[in-house]
Amino acid sequence: MSQRPKLSRQSLLSLDFLAPIGVGLLVLFLWETAVRVTGTPSYLLPGPLLVLQTLVRDWESLFPSLLITLQITLVAFLSAIASGLMFAILFTQSKWIERSFFPYAVILQTTPIVAIAPLIILWVRQLIPGEHSTFISLVICAWIVAFFPVLSNTLVGLNSADHNLTNLFRLYKASRWQTLWYLRFPSALPYFLAGLRISGGLSLIGAVVAEFVAGTGGTQSGIAYQILIASFNLQVPRMFAALLMTTVLGVLIFAALTVFSDFLLRNWHESANQTEN
Protein backbone atom coordinates (compact mmCIF):
# COMPACT_ATOMS: atom_id res chain seq x y z
CA MET A 1 0.00 0.00 0.00
CA SER A 2 2.82 2.41 0.82
CA GLN A 3 4.55 1.88 -2.55
CA ARG A 4 1.57 2.62 -4.79
CA PRO A 5 1.71 6.44 -4.52
CA LYS A 6 5.44 6.32 -5.21
CA LEU A 7 4.99 4.20 -8.34
CA SER A 8 2.12 6.33 -9.62
CA ARG A 9 4.16 9.45 -9.04
CA GLN A 10 7.07 7.99 -11.01
CA SER A 11 4.75 7.11 -13.88
CA LEU A 12 3.33 10.61 -13.77
CA LEU A 13 6.80 12.11 -13.93
CA SER A 14 7.66 9.82 -16.83
CA LEU A 15 4.53 10.97 -18.63
CA ASP A 16 5.39 14.61 -17.91
CA PHE A 17 8.74 14.12 -19.62
CA LEU A 18 7.71 11.80 -22.43
CA ALA A 19 4.63 13.73 -23.55
CA PRO A 20 6.38 17.04 -24.42
CA ILE A 21 9.35 15.17 -25.90
CA GLY A 22 7.00 13.21 -28.13
CA VAL A 23 5.19 16.35 -29.25
CA GLY A 24 8.51 18.08 -29.94
CA LEU A 25 9.82 15.19 -32.02
CA LEU A 26 6.58 15.10 -33.99
CA VAL A 27 6.79 18.84 -34.71
CA LEU A 28 10.43 18.50 -35.82
CA PHE A 29 9.53 15.57 -38.08
CA LEU A 30 6.67 17.50 -39.70
CA TRP A 31 8.91 20.57 -40.05
CA GLU A 32 11.69 18.61 -41.76
CA THR A 33 9.20 16.80 -43.98
CA ALA A 34 7.46 20.02 -45.02
CA VAL A 35 10.76 21.70 -45.90
CA ARG A 36 11.90 18.76 -48.02
CA VAL A 37 8.56 18.22 -49.75
CA THR A 38 8.00 21.87 -50.62
CA GLY A 39 11.65 22.49 -51.51
CA THR A 40 11.82 25.57 -49.28
CA PRO A 41 15.26 27.22 -49.63
CA SER A 42 17.37 27.35 -46.51
CA TYR A 43 17.57 31.16 -46.55
CA LEU A 44 13.79 31.22 -45.93
CA LEU A 45 13.30 28.29 -43.57
CA PRO A 46 16.02 25.72 -42.85
CA GLY A 47 15.11 22.25 -41.71
CA PRO A 48 15.91 21.00 -38.19
CA LEU A 49 18.71 18.75 -39.47
CA LEU A 50 20.42 21.67 -41.21
CA VAL A 51 20.07 23.78 -38.05
CA LEU A 52 21.69 21.04 -35.97
CA GLN A 53 24.50 20.64 -38.52
CA THR A 54 25.10 24.39 -38.44
CA LEU A 55 25.09 24.35 -34.64
CA VAL A 56 27.77 21.66 -34.55
CA ARG A 57 29.83 23.38 -37.24
CA ASP A 58 29.69 26.86 -35.68
CA TRP A 59 29.76 25.77 -32.03
CA GLU A 60 33.23 27.21 -31.39
CA SER A 61 32.10 30.70 -32.42
CA LEU A 62 28.55 30.64 -31.03
CA PHE A 63 29.18 29.12 -27.62
CA PRO A 64 31.59 31.84 -26.35
CA SER A 65 29.00 34.44 -27.33
CA LEU A 66 26.36 32.52 -25.40
CA LEU A 67 28.62 32.56 -22.35
CA ILE A 68 28.86 36.36 -22.57
CA THR A 69 25.07 36.59 -22.63
CA LEU A 70 24.89 34.14 -19.73
CA GLN A 71 27.24 36.32 -17.67
CA ILE A 72 25.07 39.38 -18.27
CA THR A 73 21.97 37.35 -17.42
CA LEU A 74 23.36 36.00 -14.15
CA VAL A 75 24.67 39.36 -12.92
CA ALA A 76 21.37 41.07 -13.76
CA PHE A 77 19.38 38.24 -12.17
CA LEU A 78 21.36 38.30 -8.93
CA SER A 79 21.07 42.08 -8.82
CA ALA A 80 17.32 41.82 -9.33
CA ILE A 81 17.05 39.31 -6.48
CA ALA A 82 19.02 41.47 -4.05
CA SER A 83 17.34 44.76 -4.93
CA GLY A 84 13.84 43.29 -5.25
CA LEU A 85 14.08 41.59 -1.87
CA MET A 86 15.53 44.68 -0.22
CA PHE A 87 12.85 47.03 -1.54
CA ALA A 88 10.07 44.55 -0.74
CA ILE A 89 11.23 44.44 2.89
CA LEU A 90 11.44 48.24 2.93
CA PHE A 91 7.92 48.62 1.54
CA THR A 92 6.44 46.30 4.18
CA GLN A 93 7.79 48.50 6.96
CA SER A 94 5.45 51.36 6.11
CA LYS A 95 2.40 51.70 3.89
CA TRP A 96 3.42 55.29 3.17
CA ILE A 97 6.76 54.12 1.80
CA GLU A 98 5.03 51.53 -0.38
CA ARG A 99 2.46 54.02 -1.70
CA SER A 100 5.15 56.60 -2.39
CA PHE A 101 7.66 54.45 -4.26
CA PHE A 102 5.82 51.41 -5.66
CA PRO A 103 4.25 53.41 -8.55
CA TYR A 104 7.75 54.24 -9.76
CA ALA A 105 8.61 50.54 -9.81
CA VAL A 106 5.53 50.03 -11.99
CA ILE A 107 6.68 52.84 -14.30
CA LEU A 108 10.11 51.21 -14.53
CA GLN A 109 8.46 47.92 -15.49
CA THR A 110 6.12 49.35 -18.10
CA THR A 111 8.76 51.49 -19.85
CA PRO A 112 9.89 49.68 -23.02
CA ILE A 113 13.49 48.61 -22.56
CA VAL A 114 14.12 49.06 -26.28
CA ALA A 115 13.29 52.76 -25.94
CA ILE A 116 15.54 53.50 -22.97
CA ALA A 117 18.42 51.09 -23.66
CA PRO A 118 20.25 53.53 -26.01
CA LEU A 119 20.08 56.23 -23.32
CA ILE A 120 21.36 53.86 -20.65
CA ILE A 121 24.25 52.76 -22.85
CA LEU A 122 25.12 56.39 -23.65
CA TRP A 123 24.96 57.53 -20.01
CA VAL A 124 27.02 54.61 -18.70
CA ARG A 125 29.71 55.16 -21.33
CA GLN A 126 29.93 58.79 -20.24
CA LEU A 127 30.08 57.95 -16.53
CA ILE A 128 32.27 54.85 -16.76
CA PRO A 129 34.55 55.10 -19.78
CA GLY A 130 36.40 51.94 -20.66
CA GLU A 131 35.89 48.44 -21.94
CA HIS A 132 33.55 47.45 -19.12
CA SER A 133 31.01 50.21 -19.77
CA THR A 134 29.10 48.18 -22.35
CA PHE A 135 28.86 45.17 -20.04
CA ILE A 136 27.59 47.33 -17.17
CA SER A 137 25.00 49.05 -19.37
CA LEU A 138 23.72 45.69 -20.64
CA VAL A 139 23.43 44.43 -17.07
CA ILE A 140 21.42 47.51 -16.11
CA CYS A 141 19.03 46.98 -19.01
CA ALA A 142 18.53 43.32 -18.11
CA TRP A 143 18.10 44.24 -14.44
CA ILE A 144 15.30 46.68 -15.27
CA VAL A 145 13.37 43.88 -16.98
CA ALA A 146 13.97 41.33 -14.19
CA PHE A 147 13.52 43.57 -11.14
CA PHE A 148 9.74 44.01 -10.93
CA PRO A 149 8.65 40.32 -10.72
CA VAL A 150 10.88 39.76 -7.71
CA LEU A 151 9.68 42.95 -6.03
CA SER A 152 5.97 42.47 -6.65
CA ASN A 153 5.83 38.75 -5.82
CA THR A 154 7.90 39.13 -2.67
CA LEU A 155 5.83 42.10 -1.56
CA VAL A 156 2.60 40.15 -2.01
CA GLY A 157 4.08 37.25 -0.05
CA LEU A 158 5.27 39.43 2.82
CA ASN A 159 1.81 41.01 3.06
CA SER A 160 0.07 37.61 2.94
CA ALA A 161 1.08 36.47 6.41
CA ASP A 162 -1.83 35.11 8.43
CA HIS A 163 -3.43 37.92 10.44
CA ASN A 164 -4.12 35.62 13.38
CA LEU A 165 -0.45 34.72 13.58
CA THR A 166 0.48 38.38 13.20
CA ASN A 167 -1.74 39.25 16.15
CA LEU A 168 -0.20 36.38 18.11
CA PHE A 169 3.29 37.76 17.49
CA ARG A 170 2.10 41.16 18.68
CA LEU A 171 0.54 39.60 21.77
CA TYR A 172 3.88 38.08 22.70
CA LYS A 173 5.57 41.41 21.97
CA ALA A 174 7.76 40.14 19.14
CA SER A 175 9.91 42.78 17.54
CA ARG A 176 9.38 43.95 13.97
CA TRP A 177 12.40 41.98 12.76
CA GLN A 178 11.38 38.84 14.66
CA THR A 179 7.97 39.00 12.96
CA LEU A 180 9.67 39.53 9.63
CA TRP A 181 12.10 36.64 10.04
CA TYR A 182 9.89 34.01 11.68
CA LEU A 183 6.51 34.82 10.11
CA ARG A 184 6.63 37.00 7.02
CA PHE A 185 9.65 35.40 5.36
CA PRO A 186 8.25 31.83 5.50
CA SER A 187 4.91 33.10 4.22
CA ALA A 188 6.60 34.96 1.36
CA LEU A 189 8.96 32.16 0.30
CA PRO A 190 6.63 30.50 -2.26
CA TYR A 191 5.79 33.89 -3.78
CA PHE A 192 9.47 34.87 -3.84
CA LEU A 193 10.47 31.65 -5.59
CA ALA A 194 7.68 32.10 -8.13
CA GLY A 195 9.04 35.55 -8.84
CA LEU A 196 12.50 34.07 -9.37
CA ARG A 197 11.20 31.70 -12.04
CA ILE A 198 9.69 34.64 -13.89
CA SER A 199 12.68 36.89 -13.37
CA GLY A 200 15.18 34.29 -14.56
CA GLY A 201 13.70 34.16 -18.05
CA LEU A 202 13.19 37.91 -18.17
CA SER A 203 16.86 38.44 -17.30
CA LEU A 204 17.84 36.50 -20.40
CA ILE A 205 15.30 38.36 -22.54
CA GLY A 206 16.53 41.70 -21.22
CA ALA A 207 20.15 40.77 -21.91
CA VAL A 208 19.39 39.71 -25.49
CA VAL A 209 17.28 42.81 -26.20
CA ALA A 210 19.97 45.07 -24.77
CA GLU A 211 22.61 43.36 -26.92
CA PHE A 212 20.44 43.93 -29.99
CA VAL A 213 20.26 47.64 -29.18
CA ALA A 214 23.95 47.96 -28.32
CA GLY A 215 25.06 46.06 -31.42
CA THR A 216 28.55 45.56 -30.02
CA GLY A 217 30.94 43.19 -31.74
CA GLY A 218 34.38 41.82 -31.07
CA THR A 219 35.40 39.22 -28.53
CA GLN A 220 32.88 40.52 -25.96
CA SER A 221 29.86 40.20 -28.22
CA GLY A 222 26.87 38.21 -26.99
CA ILE A 223 24.62 35.77 -28.77
CA ALA A 224 22.34 38.57 -30.00
CA TYR A 225 25.21 40.02 -32.06
CA GLN A 226 25.68 36.62 -33.69
CA ILE A 227 21.97 36.58 -34.58
CA LEU A 228 22.22 40.08 -36.05
CA ILE A 229 25.26 39.27 -38.17
CA ALA A 230 23.67 36.04 -39.39
CA SER A 231 20.49 37.86 -40.39
CA PHE A 232 22.41 40.62 -42.21
CA ASN A 233 24.36 37.98 -44.16
CA LEU A 234 21.23 35.87 -44.81
CA GLN A 235 22.81 32.99 -42.88
CA VAL A 236 19.42 31.81 -41.68
CA PRO A 237 20.57 28.33 -40.49
CA ARG A 238 23.21 30.01 -38.31
CA MET A 239 20.59 32.40 -36.99
CA PHE A 240 18.30 29.50 -36.11
CA ALA A 241 21.21 27.73 -34.40
CA ALA A 242 21.88 30.80 -32.23
CA LEU A 243 18.17 31.07 -31.45
CA LEU A 244 18.12 27.40 -30.48
CA MET A 245 21.01 27.92 -28.08
CA THR A 246 19.25 30.91 -26.51
CA THR A 247 16.01 28.99 -26.13
CA VAL A 248 17.73 26.00 -24.54
CA LEU A 249 19.51 28.34 -22.13
CA GLY A 250 16.19 29.89 -21.12
CA VAL A 251 14.65 26.46 -20.56
CA LEU A 252 17.63 25.37 -18.45
CA ILE A 253 17.38 28.51 -16.31
CA PHE A 254 13.68 27.91 -15.70
CA ALA A 255 14.24 24.21 -14.97
CA ALA A 256 17.04 24.96 -12.52
CA LEU A 257 14.92 27.50 -10.67
CA THR A 258 11.98 25.08 -10.59
CA VAL A 259 14.15 22.34 -9.08
CA PHE A 260 15.53 24.84 -6.56
CA SER A 261 12.01 25.95 -5.65
CA ASP A 262 10.76 22.39 -5.20
CA PHE A 263 13.80 21.60 -3.06
CA LEU A 264 13.10 24.49 -0.67
CA LEU A 265 9.34 23.94 -0.53
CA ARG A 266 9.35 20.16 -0.31
CA ASN A 267 7.47 18.49 2.55
CA TRP A 268 5.68 21.64 3.70
CA HIS A 269 4.09 23.55 0.82
CA GLU A 270 1.33 22.32 -1.48
CA SER A 271 2.95 23.64 -4.66
CA ALA A 272 5.86 21.18 -4.21
CA ASN A 273 3.71 18.24 -3.09
CA GLN A 274 1.38 17.61 -5.98
CA THR A 275 -0.37 14.26 -5.82
CA GLU A 276 -2.74 12.49 -8.13
CA ASN A 277 -6.47 12.96 -7.58
Total domains in the chain come to: 2
Same domain, 25 and 100: no
The answer to whether residues 30 and 65 belong to one domain is no
* The model's pTM: 0.85
Q: Where are the beta strands (DSSP E) in the chain?
A: none
Same domain, 27 and 57: no
The CATH number covering residue 224 comes to 1.10.3720.10
* Domain coverage including residue 21: 1-40
CA distance linking residue 19 with residue 232, whole number of Å: 37
Same structural domain, 14 and 64: no
Question: Does 277 map to a domain?
Answer: no
212 and 150 together in one domain = yes
253 falls in which pLDDT band (50, 70, 90)? Answer: very high
Helices 236-265 and 185-214: crossing angle in degrees, nearest 10, is: 170
CA-to-CA dists, residue 116 to 58, 74, 119, angstroms: 33, 21, 5
CA-to-CA distance for 217 and 205, rounded, in angstroms? 19
For 61-75, write each residue's pLDDT tens digit.
899 999 999 999 999
Is residue 9, in this structure, part of any structural domain at all?
A: yes
Q: Looking at the structure, tell me whether residues 7 and 124 fall in a common domain.
A: no
Of the chain, the percentage scoring pLDDT greater than 70 comes to: 88
Longest Cα–Cα distance of the chain, Å, equals 76
Lowest pLDDT segment from 26-30, 161-165, 265-269:
265-269
- Same domain, yes or no: 138 and 202: yes
The average pLDDT across 51-57 equals 93
Residue 258 lies in a domain: yes
pLDDT at res. 44: 87
> Does residue 50 sit in the same domain as residue 65?
yes
